[in-house]
Amino acid sequence: MTSPFRSLTRLVIAGATVAALLATTGCAAPANGEQSGALSDSVTVTGGSHSEAATQVTLGDTVTSLEEGLDATRFSGDDGFSQFLDKGGASSDAQVVQYLGQHMLAGEAIGALIGNLFGCSTIAVRNTSDGWLFGRNFDWENVQAMIVESHPDDAYASITTVNMDFLDQGSDGMLSKLSDHARTIAALYAPLDGMNERGLAVSVNMIQDSATIDQNTDKPDLTTTTAIRLLLNQAANVDEALTLLRAYDMHSSMGMMIHLAIADAEGNSVAVEYVNNDMVVIDTSVLTNFYLADGDKHGIGTEESHQRYDQLTDTLQRKPRMSIAEVRDALDSVSKDDFGGFASTEWSVIYDLTEHTARYYHREDYTHSFTVAL
């Protein structure tokens, strides 16, 4: 099969520079005006089962390495997403790639925006100091993750997390050779979780099922990750998020069955599932990797995901209000280290839906956190 990255490979071999390529489309990376990110000195924070070393991160236009396997960056300007929607969206990752190549990245394909199967856990809970928190584990093999703080011209600001390996796969590593700005643009269309400035949080969780999502009406189209971008850009709460989702045909990336966890600063939290291409909404504070919807699909998923769900539900019943440290401990209790297998929990993030901060723990190191604020 012909690789969609052949033209990019030829370009690099020919010696053309990415900076010059991007400059021809108005997508050139900032030059003299670039601002790099900054990390504060770590301070000790107590609470929960143990203390942790907490680092505050201020992001700039360039990609900052927080530690091996975890980068972060900041975007501001035109993210092109309104134009993407005006053109009818996309019914496949290939169409998203085509849009980015034609309108954002100088005609060069960047590959599939989401890859193979992954496991996840989410929990929404009231904060002990008032407000609401949303915690999420992303379980996978070791990957290059990137935190993206986005400030688009015509939409809500947001913080998202992206598995950059999902973007880079199939390109023979060529995406990693693009400029920071080009990689950031691609990452904007591939979030796996995030929170916006209104306190709306979203996460995509996989369900291990042979079924897929492929709605086909006269509505415009969205893929898994562009649906997350839509909600973070435009929805202020769960009700608005559900209204937006009902206005589009959903198509699951890479043929994977998924469901969405959505929570807001008003204390609402739901799961959105697609059963036989019908959108189903379930009120829930916990979501892992099996169907919650009533009917023939109910409960389909991995046995481990049922165990993680039961454990988080039990924790929530015992502690209906939690501090950030207690949510950290809850996520730690269902991290992959507790279940064995090949994968790790690549990142855990706690979104404070009231204070609009995101606290990250990388590769199950729950003694050290990185906090990004909108």
Kindly report, residue by residue over 300-325, the tens digit of the pLDDT: 999 999 999 999 999 999 999 999 99
Please give the CATH architecture assigned to the domain spanning 6-373: 4-Layer Sandwich (3.60)
pLDDT digits (tens, 9 = 90+) for 248-283: 999 998 788 999 999 999 999 999 999 999 999 999
101 burial class (0-12, 13-18, 19+ CB within 10 angstroms)? middle
CB 371 within 8 A of CB 360: yes
Domain boundaries, the chain: 6-373
C-alpha–C-alpha distance, residues 257 and 246, integer Å:
18
Q: Which pLDDT score, from 0 to 100, does residue 118 have?
A: 65
pLDDT digits (tens, 9 = 90+) for 86-113: 999 999 988 988 898 888 886 555 555 5
Mean pLDDT of the chain: 86
Mean pLDDT along residues 195-219: 96
Helix (H, G, I), strand (E, B) or coil at 240: helix
C-alpha–C-alpha distance, residues 357 and 349, integer Å:
10
Q: Which range, of 17-26, 97-106, 281-290, averages the lowest pLDDT?
A: 17-26
C-alpha–C-alpha distance, residues 305 and 6, integer Å:
39
Helix (H, G, I), strand (E, B) or coil at 173: coil
CB 91 within 8 A of CB 255: no
Given a cut of 60, whether residue 65 has pLDDT beyond it is yes
Q: Which pLDDT score, from 0 to 100, does residue 33 have?
A: 53
Confidence of residue 181 (pLDDT cuts 50, 70, 90): confident
Confidence of residue 332 (pLDDT cuts 50, 70, 90): very high
Q: Which pLDDT score, from 0 to 100, does residue 348 have?
A: 98
8-state DSSP, 217: S
Pairing outcome for strands 132-140 and 221-223 = unpaired
Q: Which pLDDT score, from 0 to 100, does residue 5 have?
A: 28
**H-run or E-run covering 180:** helix 180-188
* Six token digits for residue 302: 């991995």
Mean pLDDT along residues 144-166: 95
pTM score, whole prediction: 0.89
Place of tokens 């769960």: 238
Pairing outcome for strands 221-223 and 158-163 = unpaired
Given a cut of 60, whether residue 234 has pLDDT beyond it is yes
Place of tokens 């969405």: 260
